[in-house]
Chain A
């Protein structure tokens, strides 16, 4: 059984936060993949992926983040990451180079501003 979960909150018609939490290992990522893609999909959608409550971030989850960020960008939208003070997640994203291609922010306000800019 997976300990990962996914929830969302709409800030406006085009801007949405998707909150991932728990353990995003192989099983956890598989559990959220379909819903993650579905929640990100809409023309011109601005998406904040909130990773502050993620306790484990495997490469399979990073691939899903990249795939969704690309899909959002192709549809004219923008996907940004909110990491807060989650050092493990920030280090993993920086190590893998994701932080340089998908904007990453420490605060909700910064992430929201960047998403809708």
Chain B
């Protein structure tokens, strides 16, 4: 309902590895359910989280793999629509979303090159995707919105 306050944020710390990616999905679902986030929005966040953590693991370098990754979820019902913001903070190599140029769709199957799919998926399944570098950390913010009457 419009006007409800911001619910308390939830946070979770993981290591950048496949097992903890699975743990992070369980955590996300549990915290979202507790905050009445609709299932389809949870799925969108989960897909984005999975892709973001895959990028941290595959492209973040030694810093990303040796340091914890902090996840933070904040659900806000006070605006013109509900929103859930999932922040992912890691100590990996810096990157810039604006530098990423999507590969053109290949003309044939045999021309197809793997890679670059994760960011494309995050852009599709999120409503906002923001990145900033804070000191020696990357912070990626994934936002989804849904109407008040859901």
In the assembled complex, which residues on chain B have CB atoms less than 8 Å from the CB atom of A67?
Answer: 114
**Given contacts A56-B47, A100-B105, A25 and B22 within 8 Å (CB-CB):** yes
Interchain CB contact under 8 A, A58 and B54: yes
Give the nearest-CB partner of A94 in chain B.
B124
Q: How far is the CB of B83 from chain A (nearest CB, A)?
A: 21
Is residue B64 within 8 Å, beta carbon to beta carbon, of the partner chain?
no
Is residue A106 within 8 Å, beta carbon to beta carbon, of the partner chain?
no
User: Which residues of chain A from 69 to 83 have any CB-CB distance to chain B below 8 Å in the complex?
Assistant: 69-70, 73-74
Give the nearest-CB partner of B103 in chain A.
A97
Q: How far is the CB of A9 from chain B (nearest CB, A)?
A: 24
Interchain CB contact under 8 A, B47 and A101: no
Is residue A95 within 8 Å, beta carbon to beta carbon, of the partner chain?
yes
In the assembled complex, which residues on chain A have CB atoms less than 8 Å from the CB atom of B112?
Answer: 66, 70, 101
Is residue B142 within 8 Å, beta carbon to beta carbon, of the partner chain?
no
Give the nearest-CB partner of A63 in chain B.
B114
Q: How far is the CB of B128 from chain A (nearest CB, A)?
A: 17
Interchain CB contact under 8 A, B121 and A27: no
CA A69 – CA B124 in complex, angstroms?
24
Q: Most chain-B Cβ atoms within 10 A of its Cβ — which of A25, A60, A101?
A: A25
Q: Kindly state the interface size class of chain B when it binds its partner.
A: 20 to 34
User: Which residues of chain B from 120 to 145 have any CB-CB distance to chain A below 8 Å in the complex?
Assistant: 120-121, 124
Q: How far is the CB of A64 from chain B (nearest CB, A)?
A: 9
Majority DSSP secondary structure for residues of A touching B: helix
Interchain CB contact under 8 A, A101 and B54: no
CA A70 – CA B105 in complex, angstroms?
15
Interchain CB contact under 8 A, B120 and A56: no
CA A59 – CA B21 in complex, angstroms?
14
CA A69 – CA B114 in complex, angstroms?
12
Is residue A62 within 8 Å, beta carbon to beta carbon, of the partner chain?
yes
**Given contacts A60-B54, A70-B109, A73-B109, A96 and B121 within 8 Å (CB-CB):** yes
Is residue A92 within 8 Å, beta carbon to beta carbon, of the partner chain?
yes
Extra pairs beyond A26-B54, A63-B117, A101-B109 (10, CB < 8 Å):
A25-B50, A58-B50, A59-B51, A59-B121, A66-B109, A73-B109, A74-B110, A92-B121, A95-B120, A96-B121
